[in-house]
C-alpha cells in the first residue's frame, strides 16, 4: 500500500516514542510498517545525556533506513554530560517516515546515559 494523501486524512494522533540507548549499537526508535497505510511526521527529537559525570560526553547518531540504505539526520554529534541535543524542533523542516522506514539512534556510550525522545504525528 501507499502512504495516505496528507491533505485529506482521517486521523492525526500526536505520539511520543522513548528509549534509553543501552549499547553502542544502533537501536530502532520508531518504525513505520511496510503495510501500515500511515505516514509518521516527526515533530522533533531530543537526545539527553543523563550522566552526572562531566567526563562523559556521548556521541549521537540519528538516521532513517529506507530500502536498506541509511540516511543520516545527525552524525557523531557530541552531547556533554547533563546536556540536550535538539533535532529539527519547530524549524519548519518536515521529516516523514514513509511505509517501511525505520528511525534509528546510536550512541558510542554503552552505559545507557543517552535517552532519546521522538515526538511525532501518526497520520492515516
Yes or no: say if 88 and 33 are a contact pair by the CB < 8 Å rule: no
Distance CA 73, CA 49 (A): 18
Residues of the chain with pLDDT > 90: what percent?
69
Q: Is the pLDDT of residue 90 over 80?
A: no
DSSP-derived secondary structure letter, 52: -
pLDDT one-digit tens code per residue, 32-47: 999 999 999 999 999 9
Residue appearing with cell numbers 500500500? 1
pLDDT tier at 89 (50, 70, 90 boundaries)?
Answer: low
Phi, psi of 38 (to 5 degrees): -135, 165
C-alpha grid cell, residue 77: 554529534
Q: Looking at 10-19, 46-55, 66-75, 99-108, which range is the least confident one?
A: 46-55
Domains, the chain: 12-123 (2.60.120.340)
CA 60 – CA 77 distance, rounded (Å): 5
- pTM score: 0.91
Contacts of 53 (CB under 8 A, 6+ apart): 81
Q: At 93, is the pLDDT very low, low, confident or very high (cuts 50, 70, 90)?
A: confident
* pLDDT tens-digit readout, 110-123: 788 999 999 999 99
Instruction: Tell me the C-alpha distance between 108 and 41, whole Å.
Output: 27
> Is residue 22 scored above 70 in pLDDT?
yes
Q: Is 118 within 8 Å of 14 (Cβ atoms)?
A: no
pLDDT value of residue 12? 94
Amino acid at each position: 500500500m501507499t502512504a495516505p494523501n496528507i491533505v485529506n486524512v482521517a486521523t492525526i494522533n500526536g505520539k511520543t516514542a522513548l528509549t534509553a540507548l543501552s549499547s553502542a549499537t544502533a537501536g530502532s526508535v520508531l518504525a513505520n510498517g511496510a503495510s501500515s497505510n500511515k505516514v509518521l511526521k516527526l515533530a522533533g527529537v531530543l537526545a539527553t545525556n543523563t550522566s552526572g559525570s562531566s567526563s562523559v560526553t556521548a556521541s549521537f547518531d540519528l538516521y532513517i533506513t529506507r530500502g536498506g540504505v541509511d540516511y543520516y539526520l545527525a552524525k557523531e554529534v557530541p552531547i556533554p554530560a547533563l546536556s540536550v541535543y535538539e533535532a529539527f524542533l519547530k524549524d519548519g523542516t518536515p521529516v516523514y517516515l514513509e511505509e517501511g522506514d525505520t528511525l534509528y539512534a546510536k550512541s558510542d556510550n554503552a552505559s545507557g546515559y543517552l535517552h532519546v525522545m521522538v515526538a511525532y504525528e501518526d497520520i492515516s
